[in-house]
Structure 1
Amino acid sequence: MKKAALLTAACLFAVSASAQAQGCMADIKKNGLTVGTNPGYPPFESLDTNNQIIGLDPDLVNAIGKKLGVKVNWVNQPFDGLIAALISRKIDVIAAGMTVTAERKKAVSFTLPYDNSENVILARKEHPEYNSPAALNGKSIGVELGTIQEKVAQGIKGANVKALNQFTDAAIAVQTQQIDSMLIDRVVAERFTKTYPDLRITGVLNKNAKAMAVRKDCGDLLSRMDAAIIELRKSGELGALRKKWLNK
């Protein structure tokens, strides 16, 4: 997440700190669990032909909602505004294929991880040489605004980073040769190579854990969600969802 957004999130967190002892489950039981996402990241979340949010994150959160005995309400908004929305109490949970980072941990609490996958370089087939950060020196790299991939790209020497509103926008830009490459999670990249046949994975970068985020004053919600994730692991339901959406 960008530094400016994190500073905003930190300020919002300071405002809400006085409520830390109260917890969140009482309100959630009454009003439902409001979950924020950005459905342009298949197979974690996307929109179907009926404009409904589908993917691993929705299925997992809905399963957790059943364990908690609460209704799940979804909010669609840009990825780079999700942490601010969480801390300002517009949403209760972020479920958006979000990578766990030390920087984000300063503002939010993360559940147990539900996936650990690689970031990769996605480029056109005629450029297999774009296989490492060094190979992207002087090249343009597309990323989604506010993502961990944006931060990784900003650390690549000599790269021209293009932060776009959606990863889909970046994939189209690579396909149409407006930019040279993009950084993205492997499972999402594999989906894009099917949609955009001129693209291929040309390099593998770091691994990252994905989890859902809650406010720091919602320790009761965090513990209930973690307990539900453990139950879903033990029952095999989480494994079945990962196989369904990630083919893992």
Structure 2
Amino acid sequence: MNKLTAFVAVLMLVAVVAFSGCTDNTTAEGGEVETATFIVGTEPTFPPFEMTDESGAITGFDIELIKAIAEDQGFEVEIQSIGFDALIPAVQSGNIDIIASGMTITEAREEQVDFSAPYIDAGLAIAVAADNSDVNSVDDLQDLVASVQIGSTGHEKAQELLDAGVLSEVKTFNTVDVVMMELVNGGADVVINDLPVTQAYMVQQPGTIKIAGEKLESESYGFAVRSGNEELLTMIDAGLQNVIEDGTYDEIQSKYFS
């Protein structure tokens, strides 16, 4: 290779490196940097937190809240429907960026993902058929069959009661609507599920089920990201704090929890 050829080769290498460096930040027409878009995974059969409206769009308290946070922080979100038990694997693998799906913050989950600050306090409740007068607390669950959503904290609680010899069987289903129908149709004696979701079902289907006794335990929901994704988590937490302070949070909450 002569000196001229070598010089040309060096110039070409510098040009390639410079071009590849520019592709790290996608630019829109006119040279402006495009807004970052993050994929939000949710299981949309968990009203009022996430659900599908008449047009087929995914909406709900969690969805509107994460969109408000995104607007505050200057990024965009794309909502994707995923089975609840597949959400954590999806964020771990990078197929989604954020979980917004009424996910309770637990120690076991904190070993798998990083959670935002809690954005709402919920809790577990026992639901029975509206005409059931035999079950009034967890003490009345001996030898009964429970219906629960797979991967939920209600599932964990039911499994705990099964292992303790209280429940006789635990039936798991992918979505809350099927969980409730199993109870309504007589395939299960009780449902163990998040209190606000059970209350929302009672409003939608009046006279079919009721809550038995007091709330079993308190729980907090959080948005989740891949472990170590501190930049995204910081934006979510900052946005959450801002929408709480400017009143946006209260507006969304009053819309879904009247």
TM-score interval for Structure 1 and Structure 2 normalised by the shorter chain: 0.7 to 0.9
What TM-score, normalized by structure 1, do the two folds share? Answer: 0.85
1:63 equivalenced with 2:48 (yes/no): no
Q: Which moved more, 1:181-190 or 1:85-94?
A: 181-190
- 1:200 maps to 210
SS state at 1:97 partner? coil
**Within 5 A, what are the aligned runs for 1:1-248?**
32-156=37-161, 157-159=165-167, 160-196=169-205, 197-203=207-213, 204-247=215-258
Distance 2:115 2:181 in 1: 32
Taking structure 2 as the reference length, the TM-score comes to: 0.82
**How many angstroms apart in 1 are the aligned matches of 2:201 and 2:112?**
31
Quick one: distance in 2 between partners of 1:137 and 1:126?
Answer: 19
Structure 2 unaligned residues grouped into runs of 5+: 1-24, 27-33
Separation in structure 1 between the aligned mates of residue 72 and residue 231 of structure 2, nearest angstrom: 14
CA distance in 2: counterparts of 1:182 and 1:172, whole angstroms: 10
SS of match in other structure, 2:136: coil
Tell me the number of residue pairs that the alignment of Structure 1 and Structure 2 aligns: 221
Q: Following the alignment from structure 1 to structure 2, what is the Cα–Cα distance between the partners of residues 129 and 227?
A: 47
Amino acid at match of 1:221: L
CA distances 1:205-248 after superposition (whole Å, capped 9, x unpaired): 1110001001112101101110111111111111221121123x
> Pairwise CA RMSD of aligned residues?
1.5
Letter aligned with residue 182 of structure 2: A
Deviating more after overlay: 189-198 vs 106-115: 189-198
Residue of structure 2 in register with 1:18 after alignment: none
Partner AA of 2:102 in structure 1: G
Task: Look up the match of 2:5.
Answer: none
Name the CA distance, whole Å, in 2 between partners of 1:31 and 1:237: 22
Larger of the two Rg values belongs to structure: 2
Is residue 33–residue 65 contact of structure 1 (8 Å, CA) maintained in 2?
A: no
Of stretches 98-107 and 111-120 in structure 1, the one that deviates more from structure 2 is 111-120
Deviation at 1:31, TM superposition (A): 5.1
- CA–CA distance in structure 2, aligned partners of residues 195 and 223 of structure 1: 37
What's the secondary structure of 1:155's corresponding residue? helix
Question: What amino acid is aligned across from residue 99 of structure 2 in structure 1?
Answer: I
Identity value in percent: 28
Q: Tell me, which stretches of 5 or more residues in structure 1 are unaligned?
A: 1-25
Given that 1:129 and 1:202 are in contact with CA atoms closer than 8 Å, whether structure 2 keeps it comes out as: no
**CA distance in structure 1 between the partners assigned to 2:92 and 2:103 by the alignment:** 16
In structure 1, what is the equivalent of residue 30 of structure 2? none
